Amino acid sequence: MKSEPSAATRQRLTTLAKLHGTREVAQVLGHSTRTIERWIADATPVPALLAPALDSFYGVWPTEVPDTSGSYRFVDLFAGIGGIRLGLERAGAECVFTSEWDKFAVKTYMANHDSRHQVLGDINSVDAADVPDHDILAAGFPCQPFSLAGVSKKNSLGRDHGFLDKTQGTLFFNVAELIDKKRPKAFLLENVKNLISHDKGRTFAVIKEVLEKDLGYSIQYKVVDAKGFVPQHRERIYIIGFESSVEWDWSLIEPHKRIGEVGQILHSEYNPLEADLPYIDTDSGAVADRYVLSDKLWSYLQRYAEKHRLAGNGFGYGLVEPGNTTRTLSARYHKDGSEILVSRGPRDNPRRLTPRECARLMGFPDTFRIPVSDTQAYRQFGNSVVVPVIESLATQMVQHLDILTMKNGLAEAS
């Protein structure tokens, strides 16, 4: 059995490593980072003299990081149906403001989120003064080309806030302006992976310069594939920003519970759930015929795929079996469903995913209501985020905010 003093020293060492970084603590104590990591992981006993050494170098220090996650407030911009909101709320944060212009998306959003605030429309009409103070700004902003014409001339006139000139007329401008005026402790931005290469990299270069140089935030970014969380190959870039530098670790972005195969999100013919009922034939248990491709559409897709195969191209439909991972669900899925077709065997035409299956493929719970037409639902889920990816990102963000809050409290107390 471990002694209480040893456990307390290990907890204290863990806290110091979070606050200062394992490398710095190792240097101060005169040990390797590997040794520090083994003490923290309880792989080797903590030396009895470690506690006095910590006192000598760091003085009196708290033994644990306080849980302040419930106090973090966030705003949900370009909210869609609230996928980012779900992930942040699962990490313990509270939504205090929402902006979304599409009336059908708002209908779904309002059916699922207990908003004590009004969902405002076009972000171009939102005044920063009407946005409450918040700790985290979240936005899945659309990618638009930036016009750099005239920037040099305007800068030569000594104008403030360079991002106003660089990004005016784009939706990223609204995000940057709100960050500038409200100064959140952190932000979470999401976009398509091609944002990095858009316009030969110039678009992302502007975004990075604005966030880091003009607004003064420390940022981390990476393209994350959701196939580690759900059975869908879906790559999106995530940009994480903090007012202060943090030891962000992308290797910690991992699922709490992974859904590995597409069969896990499909309707069951033998044991249907309540969420399945609107999409199945209740007599047979099979998915309703309206989701099965017609002979005409299935023949067209096969001819189209064969044409491109002979031409050496990779275009065509994506047929999946229960053990597979799907292609990326897109907003155009309602047109023919060609990117993700569920096999019904060699003799039967394949079918589309139902809206409920699309919701599951994006990591939404079965309690999530779908109050719109199938066409709108396909568009909404195709435009949304994979919820468990956001939850994993948000969980680490909240942990870093806890640490920064603790640091600030200690600085004020000293």
The catalytic residues are 143
With the C-alpha atoms ordered 389, 390, 395, 399, is the resulting torsion angle positive or negative? Answer: positive
The number of angstroms, rounded, from the C-alpha of 268 to the middle of its chain's C-alpha atoms is 29
Three-state secondary structure call for residue 292: strand
Cα atoms in the 13 Å half-sphere on the side-chain side of 82: 27
Number of C-beta neighbours around residue 327 at 10 A:
16
SS3 labels along 184-245: CCEEEEEEEHHHCCHHHHHHHHHHHHHHHHHCCCEEEEEEEEHHHCCCECCEEEEEEEECCC
| Token representation of residue 84 | 């980012």
- Please name the residues in contact with 409: beta carbons below 8 A apart, sequence gap of 6 or more: none
Please compute, for residue 412, the number of CA atoms within 13 A of its CA located in the half-sphere on the CB side: 6
> In this structure, are residues 363 and 60 in contact, taking their beta carbons and an 8 Å threshold?
no
Helix axes 50-58 and 4-20, enclosed angle (nearest 10): 40
**What are the C-alpha distances in Å from 157 to residues 151, 153, 173?**
10, 7, 20
Please report, as a single letter, which amino acid is at residue 170: T
Rounded-to-integer distance, Cα 235 and Cα 364, Å: 18
Q: How many angstroms separate the Cα of 9 from the Cα of each of 260, 388, 401?
A: 39, 34, 23
Q: 238: burial class by Cβ within 10 Å (0-12, 13-18, 19+)?
A: buried
User: Which is it for the CA torsion 140, 142, 145, 146, positive or negative?
Assistant: negative
End-to-end CA distance of the chain: 36
